Structure 1
C-alpha cells in the first residue's frame, strides 16, 4: 500500500494513534458503526427479513462475506482490513426487498439515471451516511476502491454498474490508481468472489434448512437436474447446459452433499449441513488462492499487482449452487405474487413521497430535496430515502402514507 491509498476525499486532522489503529482499521470501524450497516439486519437476503430466526439477512451475509474475504485476501497479501471493509460495505446500497426492490427502484428512477445497488453503495459511503460533511464516511481511497465491483457508469447492454453521474467526482478520485478504466483492484475481486461463495453456499444451506431445497430429489430426478442447468445457463454462467450437466452430477455425488440429501432438521442433520457449507466454502476459497498463486507467484499481491484467478470448474460449481437456490427458493410457488406486491409497495411509496416532499421525508433527505436543482435531482433524493428503508419500515411507511 502507498501513502496515496490511505488518503481520504476530505482531509482530516491527525487522529490519536495511541491505540495503534491504522487508516484501514478506522475505515472498518466507520462501516461497523454506521446506521446503514445496522439497517442491513432488517433487509432481505433471499428470504424476507424476520420470517425465520435461522435464515440470513443482508447483515449476516455481509459479515460472512467479510470473514471469507479477509482470510482469502490475507493469504494473497492484501491488507486484510481493506478486504474486510469491502465485504462489510458491499451491500449497504441495497434497498428493501433485495434484488426485487432493486429492480423496482431502477424502473422508478429511470428519469434520473436509474438505480443499482452497487452504485447506491458508493453513494451511501461517500455522500449519504453521516460522518464527515460532504464525504459520507470519508473512507480511504483503497477501501472505497475495494468496494467497486463494477467500476463504470451505466451503459447499454450492461445490467450492472457502479456509479451515478452526480457521484463521478469522488469516483474519479478513488479510481486514480487504476491502470485501466475498468480494471478492478485485487481487493475488489477478492470481495466479489467472497460474495459469490457466501451467496451460493449459504443460500443453499438456508434452502435446505427451510425445506425448499431437497437434494434427494435432485439426485434422483434427471429432469430436475436439467432444469437447474438450464436456469444457470440463462442466468449465472456462460457455459452451456451440456457443459454444466456433468459438473452438477459431480457436485451431487460429493459425499458432503450426499450427507444432506435427506435433511430432517435433527441435530445430526444440522451438523451435516454445517459440514457441507464448510467443505464448499473451503474448496472455493482454496481453489482461487492456489490458482492465483500459480499465475502470479508467491510474493505479496495487492491493489493492482494481480488479478484473482478462479478455475472454470469452481466457477461452474458456484453458479450451479446459485441455480439451485434460484429454482427452489426464489422461484418457489407463490413467490411471483409476493414480488409483485413488494414492487407495488415501493412504487406507491415513492409516488406519495414525491407528492408530499419535503414534509414526508426524513429531515436529512428533506434538506437535500430543498437543495436539489431540478426534478431529476429531487427524484434521486426520494429514491435515496426509499432505498434507505428496511423491509419492515418500507411496509410501515407505505401503510401510514397510503391509508
Structure 2
C-alpha cells in the first residue's frame, strides 16, 4: 500500500477496467486529464467562493475579478502539486484530487449545502464531499457500459483510479461513522455509493486518510485562508489596520476559537498567531488598492503560502525522514502554530466578508430560492430536469431514489442556473 503507479498496480486499478486510448501516459495522468476536461469542473466557474459574482459586477472601481470555486480549485491544485512533489507523491494524483475536491459543492456554496441537506433528509442527506465522490464515480458522463438485460447503461463516472479517488476523499467514512466524532456532519460517501467506496478503500486503514488526501486538504486550507483574505481586501471589505483595533481583534479571535481552531484553543494563543502575521515585514499594512499596494498584497499571499507549506514540509520530514512519502507510509505534520495562523486568516474572512449585513441578507434569499426550487421540482418532475437527470428520475425505482435525483440536479446547477431554473418553474 506504500507504492504508487508502476510499483503498485493495486493503486492504479479502475473500478471498470478499460484500455488506454493513448499509450505512453500514466494512469494518473489520465485521471488528471479527465478531471480537467469534466463539465463538473467547468461549472465551478459559476459558483461563488466568497465575494459573489453579482457583487463584483456592481463594483465599478474594482478591476480584479473575484475568485470562484473554479479559480480556487486551480490555485489549490497548484499548491498541492508543488507540495506533493516535494514529498515524492505522484504529482498527477495530488493535482487531480485538488481539482476534484470541490466538484460536489452546490450553488451558493455552504449555504446551499445546508438547504440540500434538509431537502435530502429522507434519502440520506447531503454533504458536498460525498457529492464529489458521487460525481466522480457515477454522475459525470464519461464511462458508460451497456447492461446485458436491456436496462439503461451503467455509469462509472470518470472511472478514476483507486489512488486518485482515495486522494480526493477528504472524509473516508459514511455518515455517522466519523472515527473520533460520531456526531460530525462531515462524511465522504452516501449509502448508495458504498460499493465503489468499499472498492477504493480496499486495504486502507479504516477512517484514515491517505497521505495524498492530507496534502490535498492542507492545500485547500492554505489556498482559501490566504486568498479569501486577499479577495476581501480587493473588494474593500477589510482594512488591515482594523486588525490592530481591540473590537475587531476580539471578534476575529472569537470566531477563530469557535469555528476554525482545534477544540479548546485559548484566544490568547490565537492572538499570538495573529500578531505573528501582523508583525511580518511583508504584511499588507496600509492597503489602498493602488498598483504598489496590489503588488505588496500579491507578495504577501505568496509569502503566506510559502510559510504554510514549508512549515508542513519540514515538520513532516523531521518525523518521517527522507524518501518518497505516499499512500499510507506517513501522515502530514502541520505545526500547531501554523494551523492557528491559518485559522485566524479564515476567521478574518468570516468576520469581514461573510458576516456583513448585506451578505447575510443575500444568504437568506439564496436559501429561500433553493427551497422553492426543490419544491417546484418535486411537484413537476421530470419537467424542469436536464435530460441526464430526467432519464435517471424516470428510471428511479422508488420515491427515495427519485428524491436523490432531484438533489443531484440542483447540486449540479451554477448560481445563475439555479436562479434561471427557479424563474422558469415558479414564475418568480
Q: Could you state the TM-score of these two structures normalised by the residue count of structure 2?
A: 0.91
1:25-174 matches, cutoff 5 A: 25-49=29-53, 51-52=55-56, 53-133=64-144, 134-155=155-176, 156-174=182-200
Q: C-alpha distance in 1, partners of 2:55/2:15?
A: 40
**Do residues 212 (structure 1) and 237 (structure 2) align?**
yes
Contact 1:41/1:49 (8 A) holds in 2: no
| Alignment partner, residue 209 of structure 2 | 184
How well do the aligned residues superpose, as a CA RMSD in angstroms? 1.0
Partner of 2:15: 9
Q: Are the counterparts in 1 of residues 51 and 232 from structure 2 also a CA contact under 8 Å?
A: no
Deviation readout 1:165-193 (Å, 9 max, x if unpaired) = 00000000001131x21110100000000
Query: How many residue pairs are counted as aligned between the two chains?
Result: 397
Q: Is the 8 A contact 1:49 1:391 kept in 2?
A: no
**Where does 1:229-268 land on structure 2 (aligned, <5 Å)?**
229-238=253-262, 239-257=265-283, 260-268=284-292
Deviations 1:360-391 (A, max 9, x none): 21111011111112111111100000000000
1:294-327 alpha-carbon deviations (Å, 9 max, x no partner): 0000011101110000000000000000000000
C-alpha distance in structure 1 between counterparts of 2:373 and 2:17, whole Å: 38
Gaps of 5+ in 1: none
Would you say the 8 A contact 2:52–2:66 is kept in 1? no
Q: Contact (CA 8 Å) 1:244, 1:316: kept in 2 or not?
A: yes
Kept in 2: contact 1:8–1:141 (CA 8 A): yes
Shift of 1:229: 0.6
SS in 1 for 2:11: helix
Q: Distance in 2 between matches of 1:67 and 1:83?
A: 10
1:316 aligns with 2:340: yes
The 1-side partners of 2:319 and 2:384 are apart by 55
Distance in 1 (CA, whole Å) between partners of 2:54 and 2:159 is 32
* C-alpha distance in structure 2 between counterparts of 1:100 and 1:3, whole Å: 41
Shift of 1:50: 5.1
Aligned to 2:417: 393
3-state secondary structure, aligned to 2:141: coil
C-alpha separation between the residues in 2 aligned to 1:216 and 1:80?
A: 39
Kindly indicate whether the alpha-carbon contact (under 8 Å) linking 2:76 and 2:223 is maintained by their aligned counterparts in 1. yes
8 Å Cα contact 1:197-1:318 kept in structure 2: yes
Range that drifts further, 273-282 or 45-54: 45-54
- Following the alignment from structure 2 to structure 1, what is the Cα–Cα distance between the partners of residues 290 and 127? 40
